[in-house]
């Protein structure tokens, strides 16, 4: 079925592979691309369970948009093993404007097809994909919560409705605003 706003259909393999990632944990990540000629979202790459986050980020093209999901394992302060499924909207600054618009207009419908996504990230630069993302500002907090990495934040108290912002633009620690950016993290 095509998306009425963008004309994009979602290939059944996308839903099937995502279900396998979520329930059977057959994959660590999945990278999706929009095949413009047939107006359909397709699976581009399946990350094996043994692959890591560096393998995932290396599989995203430097100058083309993609969607991706990543199954992140982490340990809580109570020493409990947990995982969260991240959805990434990868839209590098160097990609074509038409491609950015197409991916942006199709994102919400595509996400709805993937039931079980817990966190959404939008990134335009590899530095925004770093697991050492620095400051997080949970919704309702007046001061940023400092964390060593994303795993620390995920293991802290979180409810399903919490929204957070990765806060680089206002208080960039390096004062190099070319590498600092704003990413929105939505807890679903």
CATH of the domain at 154: 3.40.20.10
Higher pLDDT, 152 or 110: 110
User: What's the CA gap between 17 and 121, in Å, rounded?
Assistant: 20
Mean pLDDT of the chain: 74
Average pLDDT over residues 61-79: 89
- Reported as a pLDDT band with limits 50, 70 and 90, residue 184 is very low
What span, in angstroms and rounded, lies between the C-alpha atoms of 41 and 35? Answer: 6
Which of these, 11, 10, 21, 143, lies nearest to 73 by C-alpha position? 21
Tell me whether residue 4 is in a domain: no
Position 3 scores a pLDDT of 43
Q: Look at 73-82, 90-99, 134-143 and tell me which has the smallest mean pLDDT.
A: 134-143
In a domain, 118, yes or no: yes
Task: Please report whether residue 47 resides in a domain.
Answer: yes
Task: Show the domain range for 113.
Answer: 9-187
**Residue 104 within any structural domain of the chain:** yes
Residue 69: per-residue pLDDT = 97
Residue 2 lies in a domain: no
**In 3D, which of 6, 19, 40 has the Cα closest to residue 30?**
19
The predicted pLDDT at position 75 comes to 77
- Number of structural domains (the chain) is 1
- φ, ψ for residue 57, nearest 5 deg: -65, -30
Determine the Cα–Cα distance for residues 153 and 84; give it in Å rounded to an integer: 12
Residue 42: partners with Cβ closer than 8 Å, 6 or more residues away: 11, 13, 14, 32, 33, 34, 35
pLDDT of residue 6: 54
* Structural domain contains residue 3: no
Whether 24 has a pLDDT exceeding 70, the answer reads yes
Output DSSP code: residue 144. Answer: P
C-alpha–C-alpha distance, residues 53 and 7, integer Å:
32
181 SS3 class:
coil
Work out the average pLDDT over 29-49.
Answer: 96
Give percent above pLDDT 90 in the chain: 52
């Amino acid at each position: 079925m095509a998306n009425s706003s963008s004309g994009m259909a979602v290939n059944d393999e996308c839903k099937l592979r995502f279900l396998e990632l979520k329930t059977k944990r057959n994959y660590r990540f999945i990278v999706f691309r929009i095949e413009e000629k047939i107006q359909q979202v397709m699976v581009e790459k399946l990350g094996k369970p043994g692959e890591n986050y560096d393998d995932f980020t290396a599989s995203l093209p430097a100058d083309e948009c993609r969607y991706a999901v990543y199954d992140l394992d982490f340990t809580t302060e109570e020493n409990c093993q947990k995982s969260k499924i991240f959805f990434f909207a990868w839209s590098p600054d160097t990609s074509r404007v038409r491609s950015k618009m197409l991916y942006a207009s199709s994102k919400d419908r595509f996400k709805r097809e993937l039931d079980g996504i817990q966190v959404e990230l939008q990134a335009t630069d590899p530095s925004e994909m770093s697991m050492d993302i620095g400051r997080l500002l949970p919704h309702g907090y007046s001061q940023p919560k400092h964390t060593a990495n994303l795993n620390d934040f995920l293991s802290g108290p979180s409810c399903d409705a919490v929204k957070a912002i990765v806060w680089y633009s206002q208080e960039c620690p390096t004062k190099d605003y070319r590498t600092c950016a704003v990413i929105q993290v939505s807890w679903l």
